[in-house]
Structure 1
Amino acid sequence: MLVHSAGALIERCGLAYGPQTAVVYGDRRITYTEQLARIRQVGRMLLGFGLEKGDRVAVLMADRPELLDVYYGAVWAGLAIVPLNAKASASDHAYIIADSGARVVVHDAGKADRVEAARAETEIERVICVEKEGVLEGGEYLPDLLEQQSDGPGLPEVRPQDRYGIFYTGGTTGKPKGVEHSHAGFVSALVSEMLELGLGEAETFAHVAPLTHAGGMFVLPVWLRGGTNVILGGFDPEKFKETVKAEKVTASMVVPTMLYVLLDSLKNGNEGLESLSTVIYGASPIGKERLVQAIDVFGPIFSQLYGQTEAPNQISALHKSDHALAVETGDDSVFASCGRPVMIADVRLVDDDFKDVEPGEAGEIVVRGPHIMLGYWNRPEETEETLRDGWLCTGDVAKADERGFLYIVDRKKDMIITGGFNVYPKEVETTLFSHPAVKDVAVIGIPDEKWGETVKAVVVKDTDAETDEAELIAFVKERKGSVMAPKSVDFIDEIPLTAVGKHDKPALRKQHWGSRDRGVN
């Protein structure tokens, strides 16, 4: 059992690697000593507000150093971090803040309007902006608050079993649900990443995936080995290439869409990018042909992860050695898999009666290990349904080959993964049903070469109302954000039903997927 909190590990990093560079952001270079000081100050500021162990602190801002300060400052202090997805809607932000009971929200100027709207609907005690121009009426300015705090030693007592954070994921009921993790659980996942995904000493890791998502889970593993986290604030292929060259970047984590765009932008193979030795991919399906192309260009430097918010980043992994062996032998069938179970995870494939399926048969992936969630925040019934005798029911259906590689073929639930973001059809359907011209609707994911899947709405129009594809897409985009918005809308007279009267989504999907294997990486 782990005996250290995340804050204790951060202290060790700061003391061990003091003068080395911990973070790069544009022209800013932050040493470990400076980073530890900022984390301590934020933690003490939050405790000075009267917050107690386990109280929630929400953070809503674009990727920048201050996000790391607040995230790890809260964790260092024994408070629970609640990261808010900057791409989500204002209504989702308000719901999550209220549902989590966050007492403090820290934001940047670009999200001030979202926080103002949320403040009107919730009981936030304090709102703090990291930029002067974004301070709301009654709000506070982070640098002013930190000036009053000591940056010296003195770690608060935080136990491994204490609450680390609440991470919101979509729900089939249409409302996000909070996934609660302890320090022991989250740190177990981070240590497993170091073991499974090829990270070494003194990595220079370029962050292009949002720090509030899976990409942010590589910050502490990089620090634990004395490396440097380079924050790019999003993915742009030219900026990424320039940064790799300038900083001698050795590692990064991307969603497949980013890899496709990067490959399409290259004119001379990997010229100038030779420092890259580890590229981790995941979060959405990857095209086998594009993966083969990437290995041709960069070599077998790729690792794949498969996980869920409930089992962060660590259910199975396809290692660099697996990629290399596939190239060497010419048997690239494993590229359609999500790898083999990681060492900290026990994985089974089970039927509806929770019995192991026969070899070669499809079954739901269930997993247990030290990194599994504590449960869904304030949702005991859903927790009981998802955690069965210590096993996490993932909702993903897979087959296993004789070597132990897992091949995900479908989802028991209808979640769509598009460009690395999870979209739950129920949320989109609920929004579309509120449009006066929509009589019936089913939302499905359809294959897309760039995004893995895209969102399609199949709509039955009310005969007394008029609408078109563009109007419905804009309707959802305005209310739920661009990720949730359908990329296409089909109008039909009647949605097919199953024998029990439910929407026959498999029949709708079959028109688009045909014989193609569906997979989630």
Structure 2
Amino acid sequence: MNIALWLERIAQVQGQRPALFSGTEMVADYFGFYRRAMQVAGWLQARGVAPGDRVAIFMKNVPDYLIVEYGIWLAGAVAVPINAKLHGREAAWIIENAEAGLSFASPGLSEALREAGVEEVICQSSPEFFAVFEAEPLDKPVARDAHDLAWLFYTSGTTGRPKGVKITHGMLRAMALSYFVDVDQVTGEDAALYAAPMSHGAGIYSFMHVLTGARHVCPPSGGFDEAEIFDLARHFGRVHMFAAPTMVKRMVDVAKATGESGEGLRTIVFGGGPMYVADIVEAVDHFGPIFVQIYGQGECPMAISALSRAEVSDREHPRWRERLGSVGRAQSVVEVMIGDDKGQPVGPDEPGEIMVRGDAVMPGYWRNDAATEKTVVDGWLWTGDVGSMDADGYVTMRDRSKDMIISGGTNIYPREVEEILLEHPSVAEASVVGRPHPEWGEDVVAFVVLAEGADLDEGALGQHCLDNIARFKRPKSYYTLTDLPKNNYGKVLKTELRKALEEMEND
């Protein structure tokens, strides 16, 4: 089944329901939302876009994002969402790898794509984009099977290049339906607020809100602004939003400083990084029982485990603090197991790799069989995360077996930054690690061995990074070493670097 049929069905019987908002201004009801999406589908088909073809979206959080995305699906094509924070060259690489023949982009981002050599770009403010909505709507949605690709999501890999996760219509349907069982209920009176990137988890949560005819609200800022969120929540009421733990902490800090109570916030689902127990306790104390935790990956989007609203708010259970430090229990559509290095289950509370299988797990990576064979073995997704499971099924993450840095809920892989640093003539060797940060969770620190005769110029290295990768990936501090610590096989010992960093920070 084509996942976009949910939009057609709600438009048929409740087309007058308010659907899309830019701030407090309604942009479209569900009939208008569906018709415009069908015009996008018709326009794409007239341009020769066939079922299975990839179409990229490099846009900020605006109502047009959903219209374009659902239009792509109605045409049977595959959406390739790209984080609007990425550098134009990074976005261009994704577009090339996905073989996306066409890209929709926000003003500013479209110029960045063209500068990076992308030719077929439709800017949201251009006459060509407006002409899309003069096209004849598609007669009917293109049929899709559960195994057909719907969303090609690029997540950074340890090789330094992002990998395309193949997300099918069936995976999205399983995730959305399990949401009602494991995460939260949604009604037509609710409003989804898109303050986190729609290219990621926030956008994935559009499906259950479309299915029930809820409202979709894009902040005028196009992103995360605490005061704006509080104002919109108060205006709309019954607001749902997805937030990274760092966003939750910032909302609490601002609310306490300004006297905001969080009126109108019904549910905040948090995930995408570690949430400290003290921080979520403080959040519940201030805002009340509105929080739900989920754990997922691009390879099993938003659907590995969940810690319910009641469990996040519970302070009576004898083990409530331990449970609050977990990521909850397996969601309904998957099995979760903690495995040893051979994939065999370990006992309760023993550490191992978190493994998951089920209808929400990806079939593999886009044109990367080697990575797929390493990551999905006998149907089990090896997450790369180290954790344990207690006798009651609560999963606690202990560490990341990969070297991923999570800053503000966004994944940063050190290899990407290291490769850029090594392109600079003053850098002979480089290794990047994460440093704990009170607001963002982690920030990026680089250890460099300078080329012979070179001096450390942090400004030049910073500008070099800005010219090649997204700003949020740029190292915030640099440390010079005569040699990087390595093992007998020549692999850099990042554990030693983290230890040295901790000692330096504490001096």
What TM-score range do you get, normalising by the shorter chain?
over 0.9
Question: 1:184: Cα distance to partner?
Answer: 0.9
Equivalent residue in structure 2 for 1:129, among 104, 123, 133: 123
Contact persistence 2:237–2:266 (CA under 8 A): no
Question: What is the CA–CA distance in structure 1 between the aligned matches of 2:334 and 2:499, rounded to whole Å?
Answer: 33
Q: Would you say 1:413 and 2:402 are equivalent positions?
A: yes
Q: Would you say 1:488 and 2:477 are equivalent positions?
A: yes
1:147 maps to which residue? Answer: 134
1:136 maps to which residue? Answer: none
Question: 1:270: Cα distance to partner?
Answer: 6.9
Residue aligned with 1:284, SS: coil
Q: Would you say 1:456 and 2:445 are equivalent positions?
A: yes
Question: 1:38: Cα distance to partner?
Answer: 0.8
1:248 alignment partner AA: G
1:324 maps to which residue? Answer: 313
Equivalent residue in structure 2 for 1:15, among 12, 15, 22: 12
Question: What is the CA–CA distance in structure 2 between the aligned matches of 1:38 and 1:313, rounded to whole Å?
Answer: 28
Contact persistence 1:7–1:77 (CA under 8 A): no
- Deviations 1:397-448 (Å, cap 9, x if unpaired)? 1112232211112222111111011111111111111112212211111211
Question: 1:462: Cα distance to partner?
Answer: 2.4
- Structure 1 pair 224–327 and aligned structure 2 pair: CA distance change class (3 A): farther
1:104 maps to which residue? Answer: 102
- Structure 1 pair 512–287 and aligned structure 2 pair: CA distance change class (3 A): farther
Question: What is the CA–CA distance in structure 1 between the aligned matches of 2:316 and 2:452, rounded to whole Å?
Answer: 56
Question: What is the CA–CA distance in structure 2 between the aligned matches of 1:30 and 1:498, rounded to whole Å?
Answer: 60
Q: Please, which moves more after superposition, 201-210 or 262-271? A: 262-271
Question: What is the CA–CA distance in structure 2 between the aligned matches of 1:513 and 1:311, rounded to whole Å?
Answer: 33
Superposition pairs of residues 421-432 of structure 1, within 5 angstroms: 421-432=410-421
Superposition pairs of residues 492-507 of structure 1, within 5 angstroms: 492-507=481-496
2:7 alignment partner AA: I
Q: Please, which moves more after superposition, 317-326 or 467-476? A: 467-476
Contact persistence 1:19–1:32 (CA under 8 A): yes
Q: Would you say 1:357 and 2:349 are equivalent positions?
A: no
Residue aligned with 2:473, SS: coil
1:349 alignment partner AA: I
Residue aligned with 2:292, SS: strand
2:178 maps to which residue? Answer: 192
1:281 maps to which residue? Answer: 270
Question: What is the CA–CA distance in structure 1 between the aligned matches of 2:272 and 2:78, rounded to whole Å?
Answer: 24
Q: Would you say 1:381 and 2:370 are equivalent positions?
A: yes
Superposition pairs of residues 263-278 of structure 1, within 5 angstroms: 263-267=252-256, 271=260, 273-278=262-267
Question: What is the CA–CA distance in structure 2 between the aligned matches of 1:35 and 1:22, rounded to whole Å?
Answer: 7
1:228 maps to which residue? Answer: 215
Residue aligned with 1:147, SS: coil
Residue aligned with 1:364, SS: strand
1:116 alignment partner AA: R
Contact persistence 1:185–1:371 (CA under 8 A): yes
Residue aligned with 2:313, SS: helix
Question: What is the CA–CA distance in structure 2 between the aligned matches of 1:130 and 1:477, rounded to whole Å?
Answer: 25
Equivalent residue in structure 1 for 2:301, among 301, 312, 320: 312
Question: 1:346: Cα distance to partner?
Answer: 0.7
Contact persistence 1:92–1:176 (CA under 8 A): no
Q: Please, which moves more after superposition, 142-151 or 54-63? A: 142-151
Q: Normalising by structure 1, what TM-score?
A: 0.91
Contact persistence 2:465–2:474 (CA under 8 A): yes
Question: What is the CA–CA distance in structure 2 between the aligned matches of 1:476 and 1:179, rounded to whole Å?
Answer: 26
- Deviations 1:210-258 (Å, cap 9, x if unpaired)? 1111110111211212211111121111111111111124321111222
Question: 1:155: Cα distance to partner?
Answer: 2.2
1:179 maps to which residue? Answer: 165
- Structure 1 pair 492–327 and aligned structure 2 pair: CA distance change class (3 A): farther
Question: 1:112: Cα distance to partner?
Answer: 2.1
Contact persistence 1:496–1:503 (CA under 8 A): yes
1:43 alignment partner AA: A
- Deviations 1:142-200 (Å, cap 9, x if unpaired)? 2213212137x522222222221211111222211111121111221122223222132
Q: Would you say 1:161 and 2:135 are equivalent positions?
A: no
Question: What is the CA–CA distance in structure 2 between the aligned matches of 1:419 and 1:366, rounded to whole Å?
Answer: 25
1:79 maps to which residue? Answer: 77
Question: 1:291: Cα distance to partner?
Answer: 1.0
Question: 1:501: Cα distance to partner?
Answer: 2.7
Question: 1:115: Cα distance to partner?
Answer: 2.3
Question: What is the CA–CA distance in structure 2 between the aligned matches of 1:172 and 1:476, rounded to whole Å?
Answer: 19
- Deviations 1:372-406 (Å, cap 9, x if unpaired)? 11211111111111110111111111112232211
Q: Please, which moves more after superposition, 329-338 or 23-32? A: 329-338
Question: What is the CA–CA distance in structure 1 between the aligned matches of 2:82 and 2:206, rounded to whole Å?
Answer: 17
- Structure 1 pair 334–510 and aligned structure 2 pair: CA distance change class (3 A): farther
Q: CA RMSD in A?
A: 1.9
Residue aligned with 1:398, SS: strand
Q: Would you say 1:216 and 2:203 are equivalent positions?
A: yes
- Deviations 1:88-119 (Å, cap 9, x if unpaired)? 1122111111111111111122212122124x
Gaps of 5+ in 2: none
Question: What is the CA–CA distance in structure 2 between the aligned matches of 1:452 and 1:267, rounded to whole Å?
Answer: 20
Q: Would you say 1:468 and 2:457 are equivalent positions?
A: yes
1:86 alignment partner AA: A
Residue aligned with 1:190, SS: helix
1:367 maps to which residue? Answer: 356
Contact persistence 1:245–1:272 (CA under 8 A): no
2:203 alignment partner AA: G
Question: 1:471: Cα distance to partner?
Answer: 3.1
Contact persistence 1:249–1:276 (CA under 8 A): yes
Identity of aligned residues (%): 34
Question: What is the CA–CA distance in structure 2 between the aligned matches of 1:142 and 1:29, rounded to whole Å?
Answer: 16
1:51 maps to which residue? Answer: 49
Contact persistence 2:106–2:124 (CA under 8 A): yes
1:344 maps to which residue? Answer: 333
Gaps of 5+ in 1: 133-139, 515-521
Contact persistence 1:270–1:298 (CA under 8 A): no
Contact persistence 2:195–2:218 (CA under 8 A): yes
Residue aligned with 2:235, SS: helix
Q: Normalising by structure 2, what TM-score?
A: 0.94
- Structure 1 pair 448–268 and aligned structure 2 pair: CA distance change class (3 A): closer
Question: What is the CA–CA distance in structure 1 between the aligned matches of 2:300 and 2:258, rounded to whole Å?
Answer: 36
Question: What is the CA–CA distance in structure 2 between the aligned matches of 1:370 and 1:246, rounded to whole Å?
Answer: 38
- Structure 1 pair 300–428 and aligned structure 2 pair: CA distance change class (3 A): same
